[in-house]
Structure 1
Amino acid sequence: MTSLDLNLKHHIHYSLRPAVVEYLWGPQSSRVNILGQAKNLEGFFALYFGYYNKQCDLIGRHAKGKYSSVESHRDIMGIAQLLQQPLTREEVRKHMSSFLKVADKEQHETSINLVARLLLMIKFGDVPHECRGGRYLEWSYGSLPEFVHNYFSCPPARSHDRIKLEKSFSALNLQRIAGIEIWWTDNLADHLRMMDDDKAIAVFHHASFLDYQIDNHANSPIFPDGFIEETLRTIALLLPKYDQATRNWYRKVASNPGCHLDMQLVEIGNLNAESRQLENFKYWHDRLVILKQVYDDARPTTLSQWWYDRRNGAQWYPFWIALWVLVLTTFFGLVQCIEGALQAYKAFRS
């Protein structure tokens, strides 16, 4: 049986994936850039439904579903339709009661968090048995679109005076120059958040999902105006399409066993000098400012980092000239010592 009425313990059949996507975000139009080819669309489905199954396992199927009131995939689609309307959380819960199994308030609340996660790829609600990492959002008032708009639309609070996003400011250089690890995340709310005592940065890698949301915005504007486009521009900033070194590095990372990343992440595009100005970033402004400050403050600690760190040419050239002078001096000094020892040995033997 391949139906949305399947019990949640069964994964979505591949033939139903297009229908589920339409339930969640509306039909795909001809405008979709990344999803224009069947191969890319299949890649999107594989990645998203991997996330879908993971969330259902975590919340809907855990402990035989006793924490959730959702029983089938159609239940999820029904709640998704409610969440996209201007209904408060309490109103959503009341409407859910008409088509879900009899359950207590806590089970309905958990079901709302599950579907909100599936709809927006944002971690909603604290799940006690969930592996910790990143942050979760606690939506308790107003409608879901209203909450999301308010959360992401906070005005920038940090000054960006004298801070420039150079062409060399990329995910690859964050790692090999500043030693900042890239943590790929499924949680959009963690995008560009500094982690691990400023030693890592979270990057949302589901570019295909973001591209689909541009189409969906006209039908169901859950995200603020321009938010998705700006998020894609932050990805183009960190993973420029025409930087071959970055493309090779990302493809190597994505090819690691067990590493399921969106290969379209390096197909977004490039930003020119004008587009890289920080005043052009409204929603991710403060996180970009923090990231750039951490990057600028980082100092090389290994030879590899010294080699790639060419942010200050006045320091880079003298350092490597001095290093080569030291190496050559040591080498020739060692040669002279060996030569002197050999001469002394020959004189002693004679």
Structure 2
Amino acid sequence: MSDLKGKVSKPTPDVMRTLLSIFLIVPENEFTLAQGEQLENPQPLTDEHIRVIVEDITKISTDGSACHRPALREVLWKSPHFAPTSNDTNQLNRKIELALRLWLVLSIRDGFVATKKSIAWDDTTSLQEFISKQFRKPKLLSPLNEKMFDFVLPDNFTVVKVRRYSGIEIEWTSSLSEHLDLNRENRTLKIFRMKHYVYGLRKSKVEMIPNEVIDEYIKTMNLLFPSSDPKTQKFLRKRLKKQSFGMEGPVGYPGPLYLSDFHFWRDRLSTLYAEFCQPPPSMTQLFNDRRNVLQWYTFWFAVLIVGLTLVFGTISSVTACLSTKFAYEALLLAREAADSSRACPPATCGIVKL
């Protein structure tokens, strides 16, 4: 996949086929048309269509101009790949959306048929403005509140430890805007794993996705998936199996990472870290939680004391029961001996009294 490291604005057909096969971005049910919407003579989207759309967007945006969808449609309709049978606004919008979803790895849909998992783009907003709205910096805080985020994220803050201590499962997503989206109800964390492809976007001549967003994304991946951690690599091999595409790219980060170093991903990262610092939700995670060694040994020492107390208490109870049983049997024997003595006086038992 060396092609992704070069001009991402002009992907080859092989690259686009790979993206189409790997990204399950557009499930079949998402193509269901809204009520009252009809498309005449729908045409399939080919690799060449995607290439032309990406090239035209790149040409429009090269000199810093904003790319609006009506202007893009006019340019595409002049292309032999789209004219004249594709001269339908809704149909062309679908092709533009799919091309952008594959190119910019964002769940873009037309506002008329947008779903909960997608973000709507209409004719009134430029593509650059639309993308910038998906990655907003948090509101400026006072210096005192800003210090709340000025701490080093620990080395054990990895996906493997998050799963082990917090019981949060990983769900791969094909949209960069859903990266680090935590669902506390079903305990799932969405991870966009195509680091290598996003790094290729970073090297593109036209900056469609802000470089700061990509840089922070790569930092989050290097933080949560450290290449030097054997357990992380084992987890990736198990989960991805032969589908290792996407986890390549720049690894490592210079020095410790502060939460204040993140801006676009700070809110989601801080939410995940707060969940990571919470006590384990189940006994299984509690037994495996060794983040605080002193607390972990104290817990197991208390468990040992309670266990020994139960064992010795059980032994004492059994011993007391056996003692009571033996004492009761001895009492019965004594009563039987006394009864025998009264029933058989010495004279009648053949004993001569001198």
Shared topology, TM-score over 0.5?
Answer: yes
**Given that residues 97 and 108 in structure 2 are in contact (C-alpha distance below 8 angstroms), is that contact kept between their aligned partners in structure 1?**
yes
Deviations 1:196-215 (A, max 9, x none): 54732211011221232233
| Matched AA of 2:93 | E
Where structure 1 has 5 or more consecutive residues not aligned to the other structure, the ranges are 1-16, 29-41
* Alpha-carbon separation, structure 1, partners of 2:186 and 2:133: 26
| Matched AA of 1:225 | N
Which of residues 260, 264, 271 is equivalent to 1:279? 260
- After superposition, the Cα gap between the structure-2 partners of 1:59 and 1:201, relative to the gap in structure 1 and judged at 3 Å, is closer
Which of residues 18, 21, 41 is equivalent to 1:50? 21
What's 1:4 paired with? none
| Matched AA of 2:165 | I
Pair 1:151 & 2:134 matched: yes
Percent of counterpart pairs with the same letter?
22
* Alpha-carbon separation, structure 1, partners of 2:275 and 2:268: 11
Q: CA deviation at 1:221?
A: 1.6
Q: CA deviation at 1:82?
A: 1.9
Q: CA deviation at 1:117?
A: 0.4
| Matched AA of 1:76 | I
Q: TM-score, normalised by structure 1?
A: 0.72
- After superposition, the Cα gap between the structure-2 partners of 1:114 and 1:27, relative to the gap in structure 1 and judged at 3 Å, is closer
Which of residues 222, 231, 239 is equivalent to 1:253? 239
* Alpha-carbon separation, structure 2, partners of 1:106 and 1:336: 82
Which of residues 182, 187, 195 is equivalent to 1:207? 195
User: 1:65-214 counterparts in 2 under 5 A?
Assistant: 71-84=45-58, 85-86=60-61, 87-99=67-79, 100=82, 101-125=85-109, 134-156=117-139, 161-163=147-149, 164=151, 165-197=153-185, 199-214=187-202
Q: CA deviation at 1:299?
A: 2.0
RMSD of equivalent CA atoms: 4.0
Q: CA deviation at 1:188?
A: 0.6
Deviates more, 1:334-343 or 1:226-235: 334-343
Q: CA deviation at 1:91?
A: 0.3
What's 2:348 paired with? none
**Given that residues 247 and 266 in structure 1 are in contact (C-alpha distance below 8 angstroms), is that contact kept between their aligned partners in structure 2?**
no
Provide the secondary structure at the position in 1 that maps to 2:121.
coil
Deviations 1:152-190 (A, max 9, x none): 243455755334321111111222112222211111110
* Alpha-carbon separation, structure 2, partners of 1:254 and 1:266: 13
**Given that residues 177 and 306 in structure 1 are in contact (C-alpha distance below 8 angstroms), is that contact kept between their aligned partners in structure 2?**
yes
* Alpha-carbon separation, structure 2, partners of 1:45 and 1:309: 44
Q: CA deviation at 1:334?
A: 3.4
Provide the secondary structure at the position in 2 that maps to 1:177.
helix
Report which of the two structures shows the higher radius of gyration computed on alpha carbons.
Answer: 2
Q: CA deviation at 1:49?
A: 3.4
- After superposition, the Cα gap between the structure-2 partners of 1:205 and 1:342, relative to the gap in structure 1 and judged at 3 Å, is farther
What's 2:350 paired with? none
Deviations 1:106-165 (A, max 9, x none): 2222221111101111100169999x7744343544432343234324345575533432
**Given that residues 121 and 186 in structure 1 are in contact (C-alpha distance below 8 angstroms), is that contact kept between their aligned partners in structure 2?**
yes
What's 2:275 paired with? 294
| Matched AA of 1:145 | Q
Q: CA deviation at 1:80?
A: 1.6
What's 2:308 paired with? 328
| Matched AA of 1:183 | E
* Alpha-carbon separation, structure 1, partners of 2:25 and 2:226: 30
Where structure 2 has 5 or more consecutive residues not aligned to the other structure, the ranges are 34-38, 62-66, 331-354
* Alpha-carbon separation, structure 2, partners of 1:317 and 1:336: 28
| Matched AA of 1:204 | F
Pair 1:269 & 2:269 matched: no
* Alpha-carbon separation, structure 1, partners of 2:8 and 2:227: 29
Q: CA deviation at 1:309?
A: 2.7
* Alpha-carbon separation, structure 2, partners of 1:334 and 1:46: 69
* Alpha-carbon separation, structure 2, partners of 1:253 and 1:194: 19
Q: TM-score, normalised by structure 2?
A: 0.71
**Given that residues 25 and 101 in structure 2 are in contact (C-alpha distance below 8 angstroms), is that contact kept between their aligned partners in structure 1?**
no
What's 1:229 paired with? 215
* Alpha-carbon separation, structure 2, partners of 1:228 and 1:320: 44
What's 1:305 paired with? 285
